[in-house]
Amino acid sequence: MASGIKDKVAVLAMGCSRFGERWDVGADELMVEAYTEALRRAAIAPEQIDAAWYSSHYDDIGAGKAGTPMALALRLPGVGVTRVENFCAGGTDAFRGAVYAVASGAADIALAMGVEKLKDTGFAGLPPASRGTFVPMYMPTHTNPGNFAQLARAYAAKHNVSMADLKRAMAHTSVKSHANALDHPNAHLRKAITIDQALRAPMVADPLGLFDCCPVSDGAACAIVTTPDIARGLGLREPIMVKSIQVVTSNGWELQQSDWDASYVHTARITARRAYAEAGIDHPRQTINLAELHDCFSITELVTLEDLALADEGSAWRSMLDGAFDRDGKLPCQVDGGLKCFGHPVGASGLRMLYEAWLQLSGQAGSRQLGSPHHALTHNLGGSPAQNVCAITILGV
Amino acid sequence: MAQPALVVGADLAVHPAGSAAEARCGDGAGAAVVGCGTPVLIFRGGLSTTTPFVDRYQAPGLPTVDWEERWVREEGVLAHVPEAIAQALGRAGLAASEIDHVVLPSTIPGVSKAVVERAGLTRARLAPDFGEETGDTGSGHALVMIAGALDRMAAGQTLLVAQFGQGVTVLVFEATEMVGSYRTNLDGQLAAGIAEETYLKLPVFRGQLGWDRGLRGRQSTPEALTTAYRKADPLLGFVAGRCRETGQVQFPPSRLVSDGSGLFLDTQEPWPLADRLGTVTTATADRLAFSRSPPSCYGLVDFDGGGRLMMDFTDPDADTLTTGQRVRFALRIKDLDDRTGWRRYFWKAAALVEGPSVAAN
Length of chain B: 361
Query: Do A137 and B228 lie within an 8 Å CB cutoff?
Result: yes
A168 closest CA partner among A298, A307, A353, A31 = A298
**Interface probe, candidates B220, B310, B340, chain A, greatest A C-beta count within 10 A:** B310
Packing angle, helices A163-181 and A144-159, rounded to 10? 130
Chosen for mutation from B220, B221, B246, B288 (greatest number of chain A CBs closer than 10 Å) is B288
Q: What amino acid is encoded at B89 in this protein?
A: L
3-state secondary structure of A203: strand
Q: How far is CA B179 from CA A4, B42, B43, B175, B211, in A?
A: 78, 11, 14, 6, 49
- Please give the backbone phi and psi of residue A116, each rounded to the nearest 5 degrees, phi first: -150, 130
Cβ-proximal residues to A136 (8 Å cutoff; 6+ apart), any chain = A129, B221, B335
Residue A333: DSSP 8-state: B
Query: What's the gap in Å between the CA of A333 and the closest CA on chain B?
Result: 27
With CB atoms and an 8 Å threshold, state whether A154 touches B335: no
In the prediction, which pLDDT does B357 show? 42
**For residue A325, what is the DSSP state?**
T
Strands B268-272 and A375-384: unpaired
CA-closest candidate to residue A343, choices A125, A189, A201:
A189
CB-CB under 8 Å, A258 with B306 = yes
d(CA B206, CA B318): 21
Across chain B, which has 361 residues, the per-10-residue mean pLDDT values are 88 87 92 93 97 89 84 96 98 97 93 96 94 93 96 96 96 96 89 87 88 82 84 96 95 89 92 98 94 93 97 92 95 89 94 58 32
One-letter amino acid of B206: R
| Phi, psi angle pair for A147, to nearest 5° | -65, -45
Beta pairing partners, A246: A392
First to last CA, chain B: 31
- Closest partner residue to A141 among B285, B289, B309, by Cβ? B289
Q: Is B285 within 8 Å of A157 when comparing Cβ atoms?
A: no
> Is-contact A274 A248, C-beta < 8 A?
yes
Helix (H) or strand (E) holding A379: strand A375-384
Question: A302 CB contacts (<8 Å, ≥6 apart)?
Answer: A155, A169, A170, A173, A316, A317, A320
The answer to whether the peptide bond before residue B252 is cis (omega within 30 degrees of 0) is yes
Peptide bond before residue B109 is cis, with ω within 30 degrees of 0: no
Kindly list the residues from chain B whose CB atom is less than 8 angstroms away from the CB atom of residue A151: 282
Distance from CA of A193 to the nearest CA of B (A): 23
Q: Cβ of B309 and A145 within 8 Å? A: no
Q: Which residues in chain A have their CB less than 8 angstroms from residue B302's CB? A: 258
Taking an 8 Å cut-off on Cβ atoms, the answer to whether A138 and B285 are in contact is no
Instruction: Give the pLDDT score at B359.
Output: 35
State the burial class of residue A318 (Cβ atoms within 10 Å of its Cβ: 0-12, 13-18, 19+): middle
In this structure, which long-range contacts are made by residues B151-157, counting pairs with CB atoms below 8 Å and at least 24 apart in sequence? B151/B183, B151/B184, B151/B186, B151/B187, B152/B101, B152/B125, B152/B127, B153/B100, B153/B101, B153/B179, B154/B179, B154/B180, B155/B179, B155/B180, B157/B100, B157/B101
B281 CB neighbours in chain A (<8 A) are 154, 258, 261-262
Comparing CB atoms, the residue among A123, A205, A262 nearest residue B281 is: A262
Strands A240-249 and B167-175: unpaired
Q: Which pairing describes strands B278-286 and B326-336: parallel, antiparallel, or unpaired?
A: antiparallel
How high is the pLDDT of residue A65?
86
pLDDT at A286: 97
Interface of A with B (CB under 8 A): 121-123, 125, 128, 131, 133-134, 136-143, 145-147, 149-151, 153-154, 157, 203-206, 251-253, 255-258, 261-263, 386
Q: Which residues of A touch B291 (CB under 8 A)?
A: 141
Mutation target for B interface from A123, A251, A257: give the one with most B CBs within 10 A. A257
B-chain residue closest to A256, CA distance: B308
Are residues A169 and B315 in contact, defined by beta-carbon separation less than 8 angstroms? no
Inter-chain residue contact B287 with A154, CB threshold 8 Å: no
Max Cα–Cα distance, chain B, nearest Å: 78
Tell how strand A51-55 and strand A109-116 pair up. Answer: parallel
- Given CA atoms A319, A323, A324, A325 in this order, what sign does their dihedral have? positive
> Nearest-CA residue of chain B relative to A207?
B284
Alpha-carbon distance B348 to A38, whole Å?
Answer: 51
**Which of A163, A258, A260, A270 should be substituted to probe chain B, the one whose Cβ sees the most B Cβ atoms within 10 Å?**
A258
**Hey, of B255, B286, B319, which one would you mutate to test binding to chain A, going by the most A CBs within 10 A of its CB?**
B286
- A328 burial (CB, 10 Å; 0-12 / 13-18 / 19+) is exposed
The span from the CA of B72 to the CA of B53, in Å, is 9
Spans of chain A below 70 pLDDT? 1, 60-64, 131
State the helix-helix crossing angle for A298-307 and A266-279, rounded to 10 degrees.
50
pLDDT score at B356: 44
Please list every residue in chain A whose beta carbon sits closer than 8 Å to the beta carbon of residue B263.
none
In whole angstroms, what separates CA B163 from the centre of its chain?
A: 20
Strand partners, B32: B7
Which residues are within 8 A (CB) of A236 and not within 5 positions of it... i.e. 6 or more apart? A10, A12
Q: Answer yes or no: do B319 and A206 touch at CB < 8 A.
A: yes
| B351 vs B322: CA distance, rounded Å | 10
What is the SS3 string spanning chain B?
A: CCCCEEEEEEECCCCCCCCHHHHHECCEEEEEEECCCCCCEEEEEEEEEECCCCCEECCCCCCCEECCHHHHHHHHHHHHHHHHHHHHHHHHCCCHHHCCEEECCCCCCCHHHHHHHHCCCCCCEECCCCCCCCCECHHHHHHHHHHHHHCCCCCCCEEEEEEECCEEEEEEEEECHHHHCCCCCHHHHHHCCCCCCCCCHHHHHCCCCCCCCCHHHHCCCCCCHHHHHHCHHHHHHCEEEEECCCCCEECCCCCEEECCCCEEECCEEEEECCCCCEEEEEEEEECCCCCCCCCEEEEEEEECCCCEEEEEECCCCHHHCCCCCEEEEEEEEEEECCCCCCEEEEEEEEECCCCHHHHCC
Nearest-CA residue of chain A relative to B283?
Answer: A150
Q: Do residues A114 and A339 lie in contact, with contact meaning Cβ atoms separated by under 8 Å?
A: no
Please report, for residues A166, A314, A385, B267, the alpha-carbon distance to residue A160 in angstroms, rounded to integers and kept in the order given: 10, 9, 20, 39
Cβ pair B284:A149 closer than 8 A:
yes
